[in-house]
Structure 1
C-alpha cells in the first residue's frame, strides 16, 4: 500500500519536491499548492484521504496547527534547523556577497540560530532573531513590524526570513529581504519522517480465517450417481480450492474425504471484503460442479476461535437448499449470505454524502462504490482504509464526517486484535 503524503507548498517548492521524488515507488505525493499561507486553512479540508500532512513552511503549518492538534492529524513540517540556517548563510555570503552581520532573522526556534552563530563566532555581531510562537495565533504583522522597526532604526541592512510571504511584504516596504533556502536533505528527511510515522501507525496484526467447505447433500449424490461420480466432484472441488489458496496465500486440505478446510489470513480477508456481492469462489463452484455447495467462514484471534466460528457459519448454510456462504466473525455475528445483493437507495445516499457529510463528488462516488462492493454489509474504519488504500487514521476522518452528517450509524463492534480496543462497526442510516 502506497503512503499518500499531502504536501502543502508554493508552486516552486512543489516542483522541487516532485523532481526529488520521481523515482520513489513506496509513497505518492498529493500536491496542495498555495500562493498565500492562509489558504492552507481550506486546503487541509481537501486532504481528508491522505495518510499524513507535510508542510514546507512554518506559517502554513501554524495557521492549521490548532485544527491538527484538535483532530490529532498526523503532520510533519520541514525543519528550520541548524543545517538550513547554515546553508542559507553560505548562500548569502558566497552567492550574494552579503556580509553576515547587521541583519534580522525569523525562525521557529532561536536556539538553532544561536548554535550556528556560536559555531561561526558571530555572537558579537548585530544579528537580531525573532522567535515565532508555535502555541499562539499567527501574527504576520507583528513579524513584519519587528524587521521593519530594526530597518527604520538603521540597525540592519537586510532580513533573512523563513517565509516567502514575509519576504514579499518587506520588499513592498522597500526592505532588502530573502527567504531561507530549503536544502534538499531537509526535504528528504521530512519525507522519510512522514513515511516512517505512517508505517508505524499502520496495523501489523491480522485475523485468522478458517473456512469449512462441503458439497451439499453429498450422501444423496453418492446414492444417485455412485462412488466414482461423487469422488470426481470432490476432486474438482479440491482443485478449485487449491487455485483459490494460491491466489490468496492460504492453505487447503481435506478432512473426512467429504469436507475441506481453508486456512488463511489477510489475503482471504481482502478477497472476502472485495466480493461481498458476487463472491466468485462460490459462483465457480456452482458452475463447475453443477450442485449446491456450503461455505462457512470463521474469523478469530486464535485458530480455535476461528474454527468454532467456521462451524457456526457452516450450520447457517443449512437454512437453504441452494449454494450459500456465511461468515461468523470474532464477535460471533453472522454475516451473509454472501453473493446475494442487498439493495440500497444510491440516489438518496449520494444526496446525503454531498449535503449532510459535505464530501466532494469523487469521495461520494467512491463511498457508494465501497458500499456496493461490500454488499451493504456492516463495515469498520479499517475496511474503508483497506478499500481506499489509506491508513486507518485517514479513514477515521471520513467516518467522522459520515457520522456527523448522520449518513451512517454505529451498529456494533469487532475486536480483530488480541490487544487493543474493539473497532466500531457502521452501516448506512437508511
Structure 2
C-alpha cells in the first residue's frame, strides 16, 4: 500500500526531499511550499489527504504544531543539529575566503553550535551568535525573523562579522537581497534520507495499525415496547448498515435495541471522522427522542477488541444523553466523541502516576484524566468546580479526590476566587506531580 507524505518545504529545497521517491517506492509525495516558516500553521490546515507530514526543518514543524494537533497524523522533520553545524563549519573552512574568524550565526539552540565548535577545536571568541530556542525549550528565545535579520545586519555593518551563517531560508533571501555575504545552512543528505526513512516507517506502522480489529457496540438506552420504539430500532439498524457499506464494516443485530459492528481501526477512523464525532447518536435522539450509547474497541484479536468495546459502551452509558466512546488496544479511552472529546489511559506505565496512585488510593485512570485536565489549561491552577466539570463528577466527588491528593501533598491550596458577589469563595489548587 502507498503512504502519502505531505512535504512542507521551501520551493528550492523540495527536490532534495522528493528525489527519494524512487528509493522509497511505497511513498507518494505532495509538496506544500512556504516562504516564511511562520506561514506553516495555515499551510498545514490546507493539506487535504495525507498519511504522514514531513517538515523541511524544526522551524516549520514548530509553527505547524497547533494545526497538527487537529489532524492526528504522524509528523517528522529534518533536524538542524550538531551534525548539521559541524558540516557547515567544515564547508566554510574549506570553501570560503572569509574563513571563520568573524562569523555571525543563527541556530535553533546555541548548545548545538558549542558542540560543533568543540568537535573542530575552533576559537569562536570573535563570533556573534543568536538562537531561537523557544522551538525546543518553552522558556527559550522566541523566533522573530525580523530580529534575526537586524542582528546579522548590525554585525555586518559594524564590522563585527564578514560572513553570515543562517538556518532560516527567509533570512537568507533577505540578507542576500541587501548584499550581505551569507550562507544558507547546508542540510546533510544523510539527515534528509533518515527523515524520509522515518516517514516511511510511520507509514508502515499506520497501515499495520489501521488493520487492527475493531468492534463496535450500539444500544438504545430509552427502549420502549411501543411502536415508536420499534421504529427507532429499525432506523438505528438502517443507519449502521449505511455506515457499514461506506466503511467496509459488517453489522449484526444482537436484539431489538442492540447491534454489534465488526471492522478495522481504519474503518472506524473513517466512520468517526478520525475519532472526532459519531453523527448517528445525535440523529436518533432528534428523530425518535431516544438516546443511543456506542462503544468502540480496538485489539489484536476479536476478543480483545470486543472487551474494549464493552468498556467504551460502559463509559457511554454513564453520560447524560447520547454519546460514543472509543478504547484503543493500549487502553486509551477517547470520548465522548464530538465537542470536548477527551482522552486518558485506563492503565499507565508512568512511574510517577503509579506512585501517586499507590500513596493516595486515587485510580490511575482518574490521575491520567487529571493530568490531561492540567495540560489543557494555560496554568496549573483550578477549582474543585473546574475539575468536576471536566471529569463529569459531582463537586463533592471532585473535592474528595482533591482532599486525598492534598493529604499526601500532591495538591496544594494556592488561593481563592469569588466568581459571584454572593456565596462562599472557591479554593484554588495547584498540582505538584
Shift in CA distance, 173/205, structure 1 to aligned 2, threshold 3 Å: same
Q: Displacement, 1:379?
A: 9.1
Shift in CA distance, 24/73, structure 1 to aligned 2, threshold 3 Å: closer
Cα pair 2:11 2:34 within 8 Å, conserved: yes
> For residue 383 of structure 1, what is the aligned residue in structure 2?
267
> For residue 128 of structure 1, what is the aligned residue in structure 2?
128
Residues 240-277 of structure 1 deviation map (CA, whole Å, 9 limit, x = unaligned): xxxxxxxxxxxxxxxxxxxxxxxxxxxxxxxx999838
Is residue 177 of structure 2 the alignment partner of residue 163 of structure 1? no
1:10-409 superposed matches below 5 A: 10-68=10-68, 74-132=74-132, 133-134=134-135, 135=138, 138-200=143-205, 203=209, 205-206=212-213, 276=245, 327-328=252-253, 333-334=258-259, 382-383=266-267, 385=269, 396=274, 399=276
Shift in CA distance, 13/396, structure 1 to aligned 2, threshold 3 Å: same
Unaligned runs of 5+ in 2: 216-240, 286-291, 305-328, 339-433
TM-score (norm 2): 0.52
Q: Displacement, 1:205?
A: 3.7
Cα pair 2:24 2:200 within 8 Å, conserved: no
Residues 275-332 of structure 1 deviation map (CA, whole Å, 9 limit, x = unaligned): 838x9xxxxxxxxxxxxxxxxx9x8xxxxxxxxxxxxxxxxxxxxxxxxxx6258xx9
Q: Displacement, 1:408?
A: 12
Q: Distance in 2 between matches of 1:69 and 1:423?
A: 15
Q: Displacement, 1:414?
A: 2.0
- The root-mean-square deviation of aligned C-alpha atoms, in Å, is 4.2
In terms of Rg, which structure is larger? 1
SS in 2 for 1:92: helix
Q: Distance in 2 between matches of 1:101 and 1:20?
A: 37
> For residue 5 of structure 1, what is the aligned residue in structure 2?
5
Residues 143-201 of structure 1 deviation map (CA, whole Å, 9 limit, x = unaligned): 11221222233111011001111012222333211101112111111122233345446
Unaligned runs of 5+ in 1: 209-271, 280-296, 300-325, 336-376
Cα pair 2:76 2:195 within 8 Å, conserved: yes
Q: Distance in 1 between matches of 2:284 and 2:117?
A: 57
Q: Displacement, 1:71?
A: 6.3
Shift in CA distance, 159/382, structure 1 to aligned 2, threshold 3 Å: same
Shift in CA distance, 423/121, structure 1 to aligned 2, threshold 3 Å: closer
Q: Distance in 1 between matches of 2:269 and 2:70?
A: 21
